Amino acid sequence: MSKNEGFKVSRRDDGNLTIVYPQGFLDAHTAPDFETELQKAIEGGRVQIIVNCRDLDYISSAGLGVFMGCIEQVRDLGGDIKISNLVPKVYHVFELLGFHQLYDLTPTEEEAAGKFTA
């Protein structure tokens, strides 16, 4: 759990959608890397963003703060951030902080993509 953590983030563009894949531990130490990746997408005009969390093992308030910091900007630009594939432990943290009321959380990336075209 805590001994072999690390954090990686990758990104894939698919038509108008940008899918971001955070992997590992999103904590106070790694949150800036995640923020940089999201900001790169936004600054490139990519504002229909799905964050697929299938490989995200841990998130703390610092990681959630990145979502909070970007969402207004993205929505002001006519886009959104949808979040998919949360593992139960990470979903629990989103839920405790009421993020399920602020963001579309979907079981799969495909369902998140569908919300952009709906």
The site for other proteins (CB under 8 A) is made up of 1-3, 27-29, 58, 60-62, 64-65, 68-69, 71-72, 75, 89, 93, 96-98, 101-102
Question: In whole angstroms, how close is the CB of 71 to other proteins at the nearest point?
Answer: 6
Closest by alpha carbon to 34, among 81, 75, 93, 79?
A: 81
Residue 105 CB partners (closer than 8 Å, separation 6+): 82, 83, 84, 86, 91, 94, 99
DSSP one-letter code for 12:
E
Question: In whole angstroms, how close is the CB of 101 to other proteins at the nearest point?
Answer: 7
Query: Closer CB to other proteins, residue 97 or residue 116?
Result: 97
Question: In whole angstroms, how close is the CB of 14 to other proteins at the nearest point?
Answer: 26
